[in-house]
Amino acid sequence: METMAGRRILALGTHPDDVELTCGASIARWVRDGDTAILVVATDGSRGGKDVDSDPRETARIRRNEQMEAAEIIGFEDVVFLGLRDGEVEDIPELRALLVEQIRRFRPEVAIAMDPLTVIHRNSYVNHRDHRILGMAFLDALYPEASNAAYFPEQLARGLEVHKCPELLLSATESPNYWVDVSETLETRFTALRCHASQIQLWLENGEVLIEEQRERAASVGAAQGMGYAEEFRRVIADQLS
């Protein structure tokens, strides 16, 4: 994978900040190596204010700006906001149509999302409902819907064409089988993560405790693979039945 520059990568983030919390260092590395990446952010993050007094529309506006800033640091060429309401993602045909449309529009060679099979992550994190539901919808949007003209034919009438993405990488997975050396770009991810000021201010020591934990985790994942810092994925290469 590292030898094939010039790929098109579509990363799906459920909320503004998910890519910066999970797999952004790999994407930063691949963009540096010559790939082109876009970020699709599904929800507006409007519940990220947490307390009862915060205005959801204002929270969404702030988080959109934070995501734009963070995406530029990672090196995304474009950011698409689907604008779903935070906390209310449902796996319905209308959602899959939105996802299929992005797949058919950008035509990625690599798609990245959080692993929807993760319900409890590393016995410490109950995976957010939006992550699980969006991830499952994305799997269906990729295989088979985007590549089958019988799904959402109105998109084809508008000029889009079917597309089968050959490779899928799932982050925040309990079943990793693929590791990426991010020794040169892990700090880029943390710089991008710090753009999410409205979120990190809610975390211990303005997010620095979490960043240190993630740095240690990347070091131990990397050490087990003979790398420096690493991010891990479940990698799926689509076969002809997908």
Contact footprint for Zn ion (CB under 5 A)? 14-15, 18
Of 14 and 67, CB closest to Zn ion: 14
What are the residues facing 125 on neighbouring strands?
Answer: 121
Which three-class secondary structure state does DSSP give residue 10?
A: strand
Minimum gap (Å) between residue 166 Cβ and Zn ion: 26
Q: Which residues 6+ apart lie within 8 Å of 142 measured at CB? A: 103, 111, 165, 168, 238, 242
Nearer to Zn ion, 21 or 162 (CB): 21
Q: Which residue is nearest to Zn ion (CB)?
A: 15
CB of 198 to Zn ion, least distance (A): 14
Q: Which helix (H) or strand (E) holds 186?
A: helix 186-193
Q: How far is the CB of 172 from Zn ion (least distance, A)?
A: 9
Which residue, 104 or 132, has its beta carbon nearer to Zn ion?
Answer: 132
Nearer of residues 109 and 174 to Zn ion, judged by Cβ: 174
Nearer to Zn ion, 14 or 173 (CB): 14
**Stretch (H or E) spanning 211:** helix 208-224
Per-position DSSP letters for 36-83, written without gaps between them: EEEEEEEE--TTTT-STTS-HHHHHHHHHHHHHHHHHHHT-SEEEEEE
Q: Cα separation of 153 and 143, whole Å?
A: 16
Long-range CB pairs of 238-242, under 8 A, 24+ apart, other chains included? 238/142, 238/143, 238/164, 238/165, 238/166, 238/167, 238/168, 242/142, 242/143, 242/144, 242/164
| Least spacing, CB of residue 193 vs Zn ion, in Å | 12
Residue 190 per-residue DSSP state: H
In the complex, minimum distance from the CB of residue 18 to Zn ion, in angstroms, rounded to a whole number = 4
- 20 or 35: CB nearest Zn ion: 20
- Residue 80 Cβ vs Zn ion, minimum distance, rounded to whole Å: 17
